[in-house]
Amino acid sequence: MRPAAAASPKRTGIFALLKKEKYREYIAGYLFIAPLIVYFIVFQITPMAMSLLYSFTEWNMRTKPTFVGLRNYVDLFTNTLFYPMFWPSLWITLKYILMITPISLTIPLLLALILNTKVKGQAFFRTAFYIPVVTPGVAQAALWKWILDPKFGLLNAFIRNTPLINRLFSTHSWLNETRTALPVLAVMGAWGGLGYNILIYLAGLKAIPDELYESAYVDGANSANTLIHITLPMLKPTIFFLLVTGLIGNFQVFDQMYLLTGGGPNDSTLSYVLSLYNHAFRYYEMGIACSMSYILLSIILIITLLNFKFVPQTIDD
């Protein structure tokens, strides 16, 4: 009979081997995510920490920063002589959000509802709607600049050659008039995110159990009833997600204004982030620009918390 003590080294060897294998898995896992961790620390955390420090300084990027405490923040809120576009740029951004948010939530929902039926050409339409999402911002700007061109643009040509529409609408220099420039940019922004929002809505619609609709139709409900009492309530988490992420993205709107209008005409499209960019790279006021970035972060944080507090986000709300 083999002594019991002889089995101990063998079991110890197996456990050691398993522990070693597990240890190797840990190392392999950390090595796989190491590039992302390094990227996050170097290009995300470090710039955020440095910009917070620079927000308390006066720095023109040519000389050493000078510590000024909270003066940048106080001046931005109170000194309209030195920073006349701080409040207007914030107001323009809010107007842009008020324009784009209803469009971004309703139009993709209607299109997703249509694409969720047995309509022909689903794959084509899904691809077509998603193309703007993967199109670079510069290419989008070039396309819209051609569409909105006052003389040779597609939109004005369509209006001129359609008598009924020509009676209702007149041709414009869309991006060069203060009353049309910002709404046009809002439509352009909604178009750019259309495919993504449709995709999210479709995922939400696919998750709704068919049994709910079957029970409703058995009870005599029509399409409008099922939309109001089943589809929309079941889409609350999806709508909440699109609302929150849309607000966060739209507060940071920059590309359309920078590429198409430069903030004009008469600063009517000068968004908050474009104003921040001007302070940083046109006026060389990096301390002010960093302060503006943290004010924007605070605004977005407050708006997001209010959304979580007051906007229904679950099916039971």
* Local structure of residue 283 (DSSP, 8 states): S
Question: Hey, what amino acid is at 97?
Answer: I
Please, is 121 exposed, middle or buried when counting C-beta atoms within 10 Å of its C-beta (0-12, 13-18, 19+)? exposed
Contacts of 255 (CB under 8 A, 6+ apart): 137, 140, 141
* Cβ 175 vs Cβ 201: under 8 Å: no
Q: What is the pLDDT of residue 12?
A: 61
- Residue 9: the pLDDT is 53
Question: What are the residues whose beta carbons fall under 8 Å from the beta carbon of 131, sequence distance 6 or more?
Answer: 195
Other C-beta atoms closer than 10 Å to the C-beta of 299 total 15
* Encoded tokens for 40: 């996050």
User: 211 with 237: CB under 8 angstroms?
Assistant: no
Of 247, 264, 260, 275, the residue nearest 84 (C-alpha): 275
Residue 317: burial class (beta carbons within 10 Å; 0-12, 13-18, 19+): exposed
d(CA 202, CA 123): 13
Low-confidence residues of the chain: pLDDT under 70: 1-19, 168, 316-317
Q: Is 66 helix (H, G, I), strand (E, B) or coil?
A: strand
**What separation in angstroms does the CA of 118 have from each of 121, 196, 202, 211?**
9, 21, 13, 18
Residues 136 and 184 sit within 8 Å (Cβ to Cβ): no
Q: Which two tokens stand for residue 38?
A: 């390094």
pLDDT at 14: 64
What pLDDT is stored for residue 278 in this prediction? 95
Q: What is the pTM of this model?
A: 0.85
